[in-house]
Structure 1
Amino acid sequence: MTEAELLAECKTGLNIPLASTGFDGVLRQKLLAVKGYLLGAGVSEAKLDTDLAVGTIVVGVTDLWNIQSGEIRFSPVFLTLATQLATASLPQS
């Protein structure tokens, strides 16, 4: 999935009109942070292009969108989905 498609999915998840571009820069930053987190957690590039990954990225971006001053954390559902993706990325024996 392209960055533009992921950005559109995040906008949909946040109820931001797709034609609106006012938040694109901030959303891209959060999108890159979430993807970087998932890669660092052991999610393979191949798994980042799955439906589960798209949903997980949207949840993660939403979590970062709703942060309070001095408090940044991912929701338990994001962490559960990230774990599932990382586990699915492990080599099969």
Structure 2
Amino acid sequence: MSNLVDEVKSCIGIITEDVDVTRNITIKTNAVKAYLLKGGYKLPTSGEYSEEVIACIAVGVNDLLNNKAGETKFSPAFKMLAMQVCRG
């Protein structure tokens, strides 16, 4: 079983093993995953996330990393992917 945070870091091009960076990505990954769960996404019974779900979460994490101070919003690309993932 692969680690979701490592998969997300790889998708967005983060190669460092810095503890603080990994913690930041973990927090954002959990936030995006919670967003998807509230939207109707069902966790995989196998524990393995599909490439589509990993890509969706990575786009959401990237959006959160790139927000300006006082502003939090997801990109249209993330919203489109999230709708696809949540519909199954």
The TM-score normalised by the length of structure 2 is 0.84
Q: State the identity %.
A: 34
- 1:9 matched residue in structure 2: 7
Q: Calculate the aligned-residue CA RMSD, in Å.
A: 2.0
Structure with bigger gyration radius: 1
Mark the runs of 5 or more structure 1 residues left unpaired by the alignment: 89-93
Mark the runs of 5 or more structure 2 residues left unpaired by the alignment: none
User: Of residues 22, 43, 46 in structure 2, which corresponds to 1:45?
Assistant: 43
Moved over 3 A (4+): 18-22
The TM-score normalised by the length of structure 1 is 0.80
Report Cα offsets for 1:41-73 as digits up to 9, x if no partner.
001112982111000000000000101011100
Q: 1:68 to 1:23 in 2, by over 3 A?
A: same
Relative contact order, higher structure (CA 8 A, sep 6+): 2
Aligned residue pairs: how many? 86
